[in-house]
Amino acid sequence: MKLILPILCFLLTGSSAWLAAQSDPLRTVNEFDCRSDRLVPEDAYPTYDHYERIMYELARRHPDRCRVEVWGTLPSGRKILALKMTQGVQYERARPQVLCTAAMHGDELAGYWVLLRLAEDLLTNDRGGLLREAVLYINPLANPDGAYAGGDHSLANSRRGNALGVDLNRNYPDPDDGQFPDGNDHQPETRIFMRAAAHHGFDLAINFHGGAELFNYPWDTYRSRHPDTDWWRSVSREFALTAQRDSQNGNYFKDRANGVTNGHDWYPIAGSRQDYMNYYHHTREATVEITNVKRFPARELPELWTSIRGALLNYLNEARYGVHGIVTDRITGKPLRAHITIPGHDEMRSSVYSEWRTGDFYRYLAPGTYRMLISASGYRTRQVIVTLRDKERYSLEVALERIPTFNSARKK
């Protein structure tokens, strides 16, 4: 019987799945494949309902490393979901917080599948130990109403905008063009992500798009360069070169300057989430375009994964490098919300803050020597000299001394 069931399963599903893949480039499935232990379909996209099942089943199978967070529910009833993934997920830990999202534009679909595959692969076999050192928040579907505009069972009518047709990547507060750069109110999806950013304090982020093969780094709205452009250029070049090396024919990820661009150099926009996260939340977020085709054919997803996997993991591993610090009160040992800045280097809010609950901060920088100032309200500022090497972590513990206060008695 153990042999008969898989044979029957193949006969019933194998040939029909192959035929469907040939006739429907955006093929969706609504059930798990009984021939495999994998939850994420190999060469198909999930229906919306099946997407939710995959997310919750991943958390059920890996309760020590994964849980589902519902960041918000849209008027349509569809949800913005994220997988929180880390070793010992039930505990609050001082680890870098890393955000991965895709399908902000509902017709740019490949990243949706890629992030589901990333989540399953890391939970099944985290060979590099990333989940021991970082907290990942994986949101594969940032615009479900756009992706499933034609109904929950099909991506054929997917569209760029949300249910109201608003381009969500023009809808965020902009450092140059104000709170409402596109003239629209902040959309439900925008408000959900703004709340998540404020709550989680992400340190590093990646936002997958489609329509090109490019690593796009800040800024989108400013012509001037981000203060950490040397770091951005380094990680973006590594991403592009790794994707080129791992692709089947070596012709992948070579748009513009060999797969790398500054956002404003490519084309300036206002209201991008990348600039919002970098400017308002001090998060190092990049926009990465991973396929020249927006509605990417499902049958080509396995080959895409082979090409993009190493580059994506390299970028996520950047969370483990740079300056990792803890700021506390010298007397009580309690964590502090502190401002960490590099004089003569930081501008346009490129400095970072420590997390008030745990006191930890993370600063990603190109190799070099830096003078850091760590300050907190009511405490004496500390200066620290840090020398960073490539792909290394510099651990720092800073105990700040409270400024004494003197109360003089008033005479009657």
3-class DSSP assignment, residue 108: coil
Catalytic entry in 108, 120, 238, 289:
289
Helix (H) or strand (E) holding 363: strand 360-363
Q: How many CB atoms lie within 10 A of CB 56?
A: 14
Residue 108 among the catalytic residues: no
Helices vs. strands in the chain: H and E counts, helices first: 12, 17
Closest CA to 255 of 268, 242, 244, 264: 244
Closest CA to 69 of 57, 59, 82: 82
Q: CB–CB of 94/134 below 8 Å? A: no
Measure Cα distances from 153 to 46, 51, 101, 301 in Å.
8, 10, 21, 19
How is residue 199 written in tokens? Answer: 């709550």
Q: Could you list the active site residues?
A: 289
